[in-house]
């Protein structure tokens, strides 16, 4: 079958690989119906890479498909079911898995990053990583389940109340999903900051009530004017704006750090955190949030359509990757 493969550092290849077969009695084999390109895929393929991955692995950790075969011990799922895939395979035995913090499992692996993923016609995965989803959900939207799960995990931490003012720094895919989740949670003012006018236009469709381009306006002034006391919550979807976030948030507010940049070492005025009595959250992937993602997708409370800026066939995935690199896309759907 044709597959999009991370071959070695900086090298991506579309090539014929062997069709995967069920290895364990608890596996399912899926015919992939739609996958999406993630910023992480771009990071994996950059040289030097800014995200680790196993060479000669089929990429694609965000996908939806139909079960075409199941191992003999698989329960609760049937051949023919449509499923979204949680790509993180946890060990279930480390202290974090056993205490309910599976997202920080000490021995995890990831489908589509360290194990073969969904940029191909078929994929084999453990049944416990699959979540059944309605036939009525367009596959293009269901393909966004994984990034949505990360945002659900993060968004729930803020416990946003109706009318809250929230600032979201960075309007890439995660920032856009965050805007949509905060809107659904009842935020009154959603102020989105990005240097890209293209992304800010899409942020308005996602539900931003105000957009700010720091090249045009001073973010601190806009937030002060709109909120008087500062935002109830500030979310850094870029991964290097902690310092700005603690300036924009009101006293006793929340700062949530979602974006990740391994190289960022922002100078932090620690006393501001203490003096304003801020609550700081980190958030990494998701932790039992897939059932909630199924509910969100099936209830259609988000505007995920607005985020699909391109659809390509698998053979054209490199074109999609290039659009992602150039910042000319939010979500690109691949149809294997």
> 280, exposed or middle or buried, with CB in 10 Å at 0-12, 13-18, 19+?
middle
Number of C-beta neighbours around residue 143 at 10 A? 30
* Axis crossing angle, helix 145-158 with helix 290-299, rounded to the nearest 10: 100
Direct distance between the N- and C-terminal alpha carbons of the chain, in angstroms, rounded to an integer? 10
Smallest separation (angstroms) from Zn ion to the CB of 218: 32
Site for Zn ion in 67-126 (CB under 5 A): 90-91, 94, 97, 105
Nearest alpha-carbon partner for 232 in 293, 176, 168, 299: 168
> Please, what is the minimum distance in Å from the beta carbon of residue 148 to Zn ion?
10
List binders of Zn ion among 255-314 (CB under 5 A). none
Residue from 5, 28, 30, 38 in contact with Zn ion (CB under 5 A): 38
In three-state secondary structure terms, 137 is coil
Q: In this complex, which beta carbon is closest to Zn ion, that of residue 40 or of residue 233? A: 40
Q: Residues 6 or more apart from 188 whose CB is under 8 A from it?
A: 162, 163, 164, 165, 209
Give the shortest CB-147-to-Zn ion separation in angstroms.
5
Instruction: Report in angstroms how near the CB of residue 247 gets to Zn ion at its nearest.
Output: 29
Count the neighbouring beta carbons within 10 Å of the beta carbon of residue 185: 17
> Sign of the CA dihedral 147, 250, 270, 242?
positive
Q: How many residues bind Zn ion (CB under 5 A)?
A: 7
CB-based contact 91:97 (threshold 8 Å): yes
For Zn ion, the closer CB: 88 or 244 = 88
Q: How far is the CB of 94 from Zn ion (least distance, A)?
A: 3
Which CB sits closer to Zn ion, 60 or 207?
60
**Residue 42 or 240: which CB sits closer to Zn ion?**
42
Residue 14 found at the interface with Zn ion (CB under 5 A): no
Extract the tokens encoding 250. 């009101």
165-169: strand order across its sheet:
210-212, 189-193, 165-169, 231-236, 249-257, 279-282
Distance CA 94, CA 125 (A): 21
CB of 41 or CB of 194, closer to Zn ion: 41
Taking the least distance from each CB to Zn ion, the nearer of 40 and 244 is 40
**Pick 40 or 116: Cβ nearer Zn ion:** 40
Choosing from 35, 40, 115, 175, the residue that interacts with Zn ion (CB under 5 A) is 40
97 versus 151: smaller Cβ distance to Zn ion: 97
* Distance of closest approach, residue 105 Cβ to Zn ion, in angstroms: 3
- Provide, rounded to whole angstroms, the least separation between the CB of residue 16 and Zn ion: 25
Report DSSP state, residue 266.
Answer: -
**Rounded least distance, CB 133 to Zn ion, Å:** 18
Give me the residues that bind Zn ion (CB under 5 A), please: 38, 40, 90-91, 94, 97, 105
């Amino acid at each position: 079958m044709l597959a999009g493969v991370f071959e070695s550092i900086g090298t991506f290849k579309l090539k014929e690989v062997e069709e995967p077969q069920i290895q364990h009695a608890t596996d399912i084999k899926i015919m992939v119906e739609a996958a999406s390109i993630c910023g992480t895929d771009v990071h994996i393929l950059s040289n030097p890479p800014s995200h680790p991955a196993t060479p000669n692995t089929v990429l694609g950790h965000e996908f939806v498909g139909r079960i075409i075969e199941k191992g003999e011990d698989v329960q609760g799922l049937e051949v023919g079911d449509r499923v979204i895939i949680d790509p993180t395979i946890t060990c279930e035995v480390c202290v974090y898995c056993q205490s309910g913090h599976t997202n920080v499992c000490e021995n995890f692996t990831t489908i589509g990053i360290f194990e073969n993923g969904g940029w191909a016609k078929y994929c084999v995965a453990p049944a416990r990583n699959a979540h059944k989803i309605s036939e009525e959900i367009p596959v293009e939207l269901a393909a966004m389940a994984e990034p949505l799960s990360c945002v659900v995990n993060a968004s729930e931490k803020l416990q946003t109340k109706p009318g809250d003012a929230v600032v979201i720094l960075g309007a890439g895919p995660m920032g856009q999903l965050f805007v949509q989740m905060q809107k659904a949670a009842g935020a009154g003012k959603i102020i989105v900051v990005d240097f890209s006018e293209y992304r800010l236009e899409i942020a308005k469709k996602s539900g931003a009530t105000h957009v700010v381009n720091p090249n045009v306006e001073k973010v601190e002034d806009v937030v002060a004017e709109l909120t008087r006391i500062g935002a109830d919550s500030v979310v850094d979807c870029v991964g290097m704006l902690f310092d700005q976030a603690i300036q924009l948030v009101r006293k006793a507010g929340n700062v949530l750090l979602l974006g990740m940049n391994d190289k960022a070492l922002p100078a932090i005025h620690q006393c501001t955190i203490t003096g304003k009595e801020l609550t700081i959250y980190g958030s990494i992937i998701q932790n039992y949030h897939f059932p909630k993602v199924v509910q969100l997708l099936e209830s259609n409370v988000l505007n995920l359509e607005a985020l699909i800026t391109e659809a390509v066939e698998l053979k054209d995935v490199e074109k999609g990757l290039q659009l992602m690199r150039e910042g000319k896309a939010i979500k690109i759907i691949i149809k294997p």
